[in-house]
């Protein structure tokens, strides 16, 4: 398994758990009777963002330190897979921006706008990692 695929698997796990944790916190407060727009969401959202990003950073740092003296870098296949994953992330973030702007222009509560941004970021992580894993497992289709 290449280092890029390891990072992609960690990304899937951390993004999935981070988004699930935020959903559980929000839904538990909604079930307790707090309206979605009235609940304090900033600290749980920031905590879940750290839950998503920190394992990815740690994995990359460990892999970089492990490969530090060997001059092992990405080859052409790794760069192609990463480019496809970045294109997927960009597309998902672009769609999320449209949703966020639509919510902002319609005067939605800050909770819904922030949740749309959070969902867009989480889905972009998941989508990019899925494209990477698929690229490493099945290859890159020719365009």
Whether 21 shows a pLDDT value over 90: the answer reads yes
The verdict on residue 111 lying in a domain is yes
Per-residue model confidence (pLDDT) at position 70? 67
Q: What rounded mean pLDDT belongs to the chain? A: 88
The verdict on residue 23 lying in a domain is yes
Whether 16 shows a pLDDT value over 90: the answer reads yes
Per-residue model confidence (pLDDT) at position 49? 93
Per-residue model confidence (pLDDT) at position 69? 61
Residues 30, 102, 43, 57, Cα dihedral to 10°: 120
When divided into structural domains, the chain yields a total of: 1
Q: How far apart are CA 113 and CA 116, in angstroms?
A: 5
The verdict on residue 121 lying in a domain is yes
The verdict on residue 47 lying in a domain is yes
| Residue that wins the pLDDT comparison between 18 and 65 | 18
Mean pLDDT across 96-123: 93
Per-residue model confidence (pLDDT) at position 56? 92
| Residue that wins the pLDDT comparison between 134 and 73 | 134
The range of the structural domain enclosing residue 89 comes to 3-138
Q: Dihedral of CA 67/63/82/117: which sign?
A: negative
Q: Which of 10-19, 24-33, 51-60, 106-115 is predicted least confidently?
A: 24-33
Q: How far apart are CA 22 and CA 123, in angstroms?
A: 13
pTM: 0.85
Tens digit of pLDDT for each residue in 54-108? 999 999 889 888 877 666 667 788 888 999 999 999 999 999 999 999 999 999 8
The verdict on residue 143 lying in a domain is no
């Amino acid at each position: 398994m290449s280092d890029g695929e390891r990072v992609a698997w960690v990304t899937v796990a951390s993004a999935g758990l981070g988004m699930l944790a935020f959903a559980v916190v929000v839904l538990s407060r909604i079930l307790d009777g707090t309206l979605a727009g009235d609940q304090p969401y900033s600290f749980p959202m920031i905590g879940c963002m750290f839950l998503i990003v920190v394992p990815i950073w740690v994995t990359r740092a460990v892999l970089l330190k492990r490969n530090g003296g060997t001059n092992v870098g990405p080859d052409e296949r790794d760069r192609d897979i990463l480019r496809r994953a970045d294109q997927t992330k960009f597309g998902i973030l672009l769609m999320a921006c449209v949703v966020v702007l639509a919510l902002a222009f319609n005067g939605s509560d800050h909770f819904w706008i922030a949740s749309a941004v959070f969902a867009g970021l989480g889905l972009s992580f998941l989508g990019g990692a899925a494209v990477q894993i698929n690229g490493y497992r099945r290859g890159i289709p020719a365009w």
